[in-house]
Structures are given as C-alpha cells and as structure tokens.
Amino acid sequence: MKGKDLFKNPPYLEVAFDIPDWRRVEGIIRALPDHEAVIIEAGTPLVKRYGVEVCKKIHQIRPNAIVLADLKTISSGAREAKMAAEATADVASFAGVGPIEVQEEFIETCHNLGVAPLLDTINLHDPLPVLNELSVKPDVVELHRAIDLELTDASHQWGNIREIKAAIGGGPVAVAGGIRVPKVKEAMASGAEILVVGRAITVAKDINNAAKAFLREMGVL
C-alpha cells in the first residue's frame, strides 16, 4: 500500500523513537506487538544519528509495518523526499513552518514516489492558513507539541481536527505530545486517527504491555 492507502483502517498507534541508540531501538521494536495498527516512527534524533537509511533497518525487523521518517524537512524538499523513498520510508514528515515552495516540492515528490507526506505543525499555531495556501496537500497532518513543552504545558491544544481533516481531503490527523492512556479516548473523540506516543511506551518496564494498553484503549485489540 502507498500514500493515503496506508491509512484505510484507523485508528493507529504511532510509536516514536527519539532514542539515538540503535541497539535500544531494535530491542524495543522487537518487543512491540506485531499489530497492523502500529506505526513505527524513526524519530528525528534517530535519523540524524544513523541517517534516513535507518528505515530500512526497521523494515528488516518488521517488514509489514508502516515506517515513518520524521525528517521535519524545512529545505531541499524534493531531495529529502527522494531520500526517504529510497530508504523505504512509507511516510515522511516536513515542517509546516518551512517555505511554501519547499513544502510543495516535498509533497509532490512524495506523491510521485509513493510516500505519504506528513505536515508537522511544530511551532505552527494554526496549520489551516498554510494548508489553504498549498497548491498540493499533504496526506497527513500531525498536531505536534515539542518534547520540552510536554514538561511545562499540560494542556492539549489539538485545534479543530475535523476542519484540518477536511482541508487535506479527508486524510488522517495525528496528535503528538504527552499522549497517555487516560487521554486516548479524548484524543479520538476530537477526531484524531493517529496517536503518537513516545516515552510512555519506549521507556516502559514492559514494552509489550505498555503498547497493548494503548491498543486496547483505542479499541483495536
């Protein structure tokens, strides 16, 4: 499956690996439930340390999993989208705060190469004006709070998810930043179809059970 076809059976649990240590990441991936609702994210620190080729390593462990390269591309849109495709990424992210021309190049190249482009809203208060300006639309929008803000900001500012979803032609909206099991139903009720979870799973004593707790709360397990 390619592009929007990847997301035909929501909801999804996206496990974000911001750990720049492949040995740890590999062990955690192997401990995750082998479930079709699990997306594996090669987080930005992981990609910066090992390169986007780390997506190939993830696919070697979980061949059928959706793998996301969290590039947060802000320049060289076409080039970085091509790099993601060559590294077997199924989804690749770009920064919604970047130049419109770069975003459009990234989206178009992803579409041409069968990769789903994802607009990351980090540091972008309202993605709707950007989405309306883009001549081509991303397949996914991720409403994202930075890790550092999770420690000081307990609020969940997810915005008007349904309006954002409509702006991209019905594609899924992901929410990231401080998602915990008690917040799952609230996030899904707001319209989110992809829940991005990092440390609540990746630093848990029992990785498998931690992930399953989310999947059960999401109603897919």
**pLDDT tens track for 133-180:** 999 999 999 998 654 444 444 444 566 899 999 999 999 999 998 899
Instruction: Tell me the mean pLDDT in the region 66-77.
Output: 98
Query: Does the pLDDT of residue 74 top 80, yes or no?
Result: yes
**pLDDT tens track for 117-127:** 999 999 998 99
Ordered domains of the chain (ranges, CATH) = 3-218 (3.20.20.70)
Strand pairing of 12-17 and 194-197? Answer: parallel
When the pLDDT of each residue in the chain is averaged and rounded to a whole number, the result is 93
DSSP letter assigned to residue 135: S
What is the percent of the chain where pLDDT is above 70?
91
Q: Which residues pair with 42 in a beta bridge?
A: 17, 69
Contacts 24+ apart (CB under 8 A), 167-171: 167/128, 167/131, 167/132, 167/137, 168/131, 168/137, 168/138, 168/139, 168/140, 168/141, 169/137, 171/4, 171/7, 171/137, 171/138, 171/139, 171/140, 171/141
